[in-house]
Structures are given as C-alpha cells and as structure tokens.
Chains A and B, each alone.
Chain A
Amino acid sequence: MPAPLISPAEKSYIEQGIEQDCRADGRGRLEYRHIVLESGLLSQASGSARCRLGDSDVLVGVKVEIGEVDQENPNVGRIVCNVECSPSASQQFEGRGADDINNTLTLSLDRLYNGPQSGIDLEKLCIIPGQNCWVIYIDAMVMDCAGNLFDCIVMTTRAALHNTRIPKTEIQDLGDGEFEFDVVDDIEDAESIIGWDRSPISVTLYKIADRYIIDPTILEELCSQVTLTVGVNKEGQICGIQKSATGSIDPSLLTEMIQSATNLAKPLLQQLDTKLLEDEAQVQEKRKLGQPVEKLGFFAAVI
C-alpha cells in the first residue's frame, strides 16, 4: 500500500511525463482508467451500485424511508448524503482517522445533491405536504482508495439512484384537511426516482506543474497543487464548482479548465447512461423469461 509520501525524484518524473502527455501508466492527460460499474447488488437496500475506477472501489447504498418534512420546505422530499471511508482503503483511516476526509467528501456530495442542481424532482417525493415525505439516504462506502475518489463516488451515486425504486403510496382523505397514507407493498409498483438522469457527475481536474490531468493515481494526486471539481449534468450545465488543495489558479486557466471539464463530462455521461439503460433492459428481459438474474457483486474477479 503506497505511503502518502513522495520523493522529489518521483515527483519530477511524473511532472515530466505529464508534460509529454504520457503518464506513468501510458494514459494521456485527459484519459480515464478502466471503469467497472454494477448496480443492484444489495437486495435489502432500495438501490445500490458499486464502481471500480482503476483500483478505487466505492459501494453506494440508497435507502428510501418515510420521514417528516423540513418545516422550511414543507412540500418537498429530502436527500441526506453520507460518505464513509473504510480503513481497508488506507491505514490512516483507522479509528477516527477517517473523520476529516469523511466530512469533506460528505459535504462535497451534499453540495451536488442538495438543491435544484441535483435534477431530482423533490416535489414528487412529498407524500403529504406539510407532514410526511420520502427521505433518500445516500450512503457511500469507500472500500479501496487509488486516486480520484470523489469522481468515483459521484458516478456510483448516480448509478445507485438509477437503480433505486420508491414504493408507491396511496393517500386517503379523511376530511378536515387530515390525510392518511398507506405504502403499497408490491415491488412491481415501485417507481424509479424521477429526474435521476438529470443528476450531475463530477469531473475533477488536478493541476500539476503547468498542465492539468483527470483521474490521477495516488502518486499523481500527491504531485498536484490545486484541484478543481466541476459538477456537470447531461445538458452540459454546470451544477457546482469547488477548488481544493493549497495553491491558486490563474483566472484564464480557470475558465479553460471548466470548459475542459464540461467537454469531458458529456461523452462520459452518455456512455454511462447507455450502459445503465442497456443493463436494466437485460435484467427486465431475464425477469420476463423467468431466468434468474445473477449479480456478480464482490465475486467479480480482481486478479
């Protein structure tokens, strides 16, 4: 497991490689690693997905539960995000060591998903205005960390939201402005989240020397001075921007980086969506024919 230290010689090697558009593993500056994405692994969760981006491994479970509305927004549902880094990802995450990074990632994910930029129709999640609503709990667990964590988490969250099914509710009017609701137990009647396809993914650009790259490995991440996370949705709109790490960006470079991120996000989103929809169509086919649907989950070969 690589230690979070890097020697000047290694740093120089990485910087020069990036200058030449040839990184240590042969990729160009704006190329992603191999992505393996699978959804629907956990039967007890409302939706789930697991993504391996290179060696980074993230599992997201979505649970949909009935809760009370927020008094400031009594007509909409809520989304609660939570990210936990498992100590299996790095020795520094043992005990309370992961608290800092958990908080940072949770708040970043929250920034993307809490609000109209998430694209999710929160009004549809409201059951009885002023009383009850559906609360979507997004729990991400980082199992293995090999660079570019946040992008991986957002990609997996999007797939998990696509996979999530919300049970149908029947509302009864008791008169006097009082309402009661019943949850329909039939799984077939459960609906998918409206607006999941308008949710953003994030593209994080890491500035190293004078160039910027995407999807770094851990060593490359250690060389970068500034990172810029841009959330982009399917229509090419920017849903959130965040600059992190110590360092500064020249304003002209900033505009260029944002433009670059938007250009990179569109084809990635298209490919992800195509694959997700294809996968789901296959699963429905199998269900219709009565064939068992096998999810690989953690049984997928690694070595």
Chain B
Amino acid sequence: MSRLELLTPEGLRIDGRRANELRKITAKTSVFSQADGSAYIEQGNTKCLVAVYGPREARRRQQTLADRAIINVEFNVAPFSTSERKKRSKSDKRSLELATCIRQTFEPVIQTNQFPRSQIDVYIQLFQHDGGVLQSCINATTMALIDAGIPMLDFVCACSAGCIEKVPVLDLNNLEESADTPELTLAMLPRTGKVNLVELESRLHIEQLESVMDLAKDGCIQINEMLDKVIRQNMDHLMGRMKA
C-alpha cells in the first residue's frame, strides 16, 4: 500500500496547489429572501451557508441581557456532507463546540451594546465537508452579518494553515486534515491585525508555530480582499435594483 504523498518534492500538493495557495473561493450574499442576512461560501469543495436573523426579540426572556444583545449560534451539518453518510444530532459535541467557538469569535466584534435585550441568531449549515470547516463558517458568518446590516467593528477573516514535513502549507483540505497534519485555524480583524481566534489540532513544534501563523495571517488578508469584493458587488447590485 503506497503512502499518500501530501507534498511532492516539486512542491505540489494532492490537488495540484503550491504550499501557499488558497483554494478557489466563490461567495454570494442575500441567498434567502426571508432571513435578515445570509451568505453562501464555497471554498474548494467545502460548501457552507449562513442565515442571520436579528436583532430581534429574544426567544427566552430570562436569557436577555439588559445592556446588550445576546448572540446565538447554531451549527448544523447535513448528513450527506461527508463521504460517509452520518446523521448528527443537534447536541453533537463537536457541533456545539464549533458553535461556541464562532460565538466567542464574534462577540467582541459585533456592536451588541446598540441592541439591549435582543437576540442575534446565526444559523450555520454545512452542505459539504472538505476541510477548512471552521474557517469557511467564520467567513460566511462575517458576510451574512454584514448582509443583515448588523454593525461590526471590522471583518473577521479566518484561514487555516498547517505543516507538512516541516513546510508550512495554507488552507488544508479534508485529505490533508485527516492525515494527522497539524492544523491551525486563525481568525483576525484585517484592519488592526488583531487575532480573534487561534485553534490548533494535533502537534506542532514551537519553532514552526510562527511561520505557520504568519502564513495563516497572509491567507486571512487574501480572503479579506475577496470577501470585500463580493460584498461590494452585491451592494452595487442592490443599489442598481433600487434605482431601477
């Protein structure tokens, strides 16, 4: 049985990318007519859809906060998203952890003190899982929140990076993730460079940490440019429809 070569001597990965190349990202906002804001992102084969409702009346009165809005994140994985069909319950630990992660990433960025006693709901759906789930969800959530008109301090852009045979690589896909490669997901605010989320799975030598983080930051800046473009395009489209 031949071992899968994740990084060939020429510097090419399994899907033909170089070590510092992102997968192709396509995105769209305003996907639903009923949600206040929604966004759909495709990063390579990973497909993620986010719908945002809010700020609206909180569903449970006891949970409201007097001085700001509460953010509620729900993460749902479709049973057909992975190569093996698996139905996940809503209280699946992994899903809950991811939802909490995303909520904590966005809490400092959304200006919740403008909407006391209300609730902002973020519903994330994953249709296809091909690695980089956390980063796609964060990117899609940013766009959906902007589409909903919820005031934020800055974009939150996320990117994953890893290390294959001591070479830092950007944006891991599912094969690379499952091959026990250390995967670092980084979310940052592009304008200030502040890092909102750092998550590392598997082992990574401390000497390589800095180079992997720098690569992830580069990736975030690239993603920020792309998302910015998509949002401006959608806004132009809306303005065009308004004037027509």
Contact = CB atoms under 8 A, between A and B. Distances in A.
B102 to A, nearest CB: 15
B40 interface: yes
B40 A299 contact: yes
Interface string B176-202: 000000000000000000000000000
A298 to B, nearest CB: 4
B49 A298 contact: yes
Given A42-B80, A88-B51, A143 B32 contact: yes
A43 interface: yes
Contact of A82 (B33, B79, B81, B84): B79
A290 interface: no
Interface string A267-301: 00000000000000000000000000000011100
A139 B78 contact: yes
Interface residues of A, number: 34
B12 interface: no
Contacts of B241: 303
B61 interface: no
Contact of B32 (A43, A57, A96): A57
A137 B35 CA distance: 29
B121 A299 contact: no
A44 B31 contact: no
B59 interface: yes
B28 interface: yes
A148 B165 CA distance: 54
Contacts of A48: 80
Contacts of B53: 1, 88, 91
A91 B31 contact: no
A227 interface: no
Interface in A75-126: 82, 84, 86-89, 91, 94-96
Interface stretch (B3-11, B16-24, B123-131, B214-222): B123-131
A42 B53 CA distance: 26
A144 B53 CA distance: 13
B38 A65 contact: no
B16 to A, nearest CB: 17
Contacts of A44: 45, 80-83, 128-130
A63 B79 contact: yes
Contacts of B238: 303
A89 B49 CA distance: 13
Given A86-B123, A144-B34, A42 B74 contact: no
A137 B76 CA distance: 18
Contacts of A94: 59, 72, 74, 121
B79 A143 contact: no
Nearest to A302: B33
B80 A137 contact: yes
Contact of A139 (B51, B59, B85): B85
A292 B137 CA distance: 28
Interface of A: 1, 42-45, 48, 55, 57, 59, 61-63, 65, 82, 84, 86-89, 91, 94-96, 137, 139, 141, 143-144, 146, 297-299, 302-303
22 contacts: A44-B81, A45-B80, A59-B78, A65-B85, A84-B78, A86-B125, A87-B74, A88-B35, A88-B53, A91-B56, A94-B59, A94-B121, A137-B79, A137-B85, A139-B79, A139-B85, A143-B51, A297-B47, A298-B40, A302-B30, A302-B31, A303-B33
Given A65-B85, A137-B80, 10 more contacts: A61-B80, A62-B80, A84-B78, A86-B125, A88-B53, A91-B56, A94-B72, A139-B85, A143-B49, A146-B34
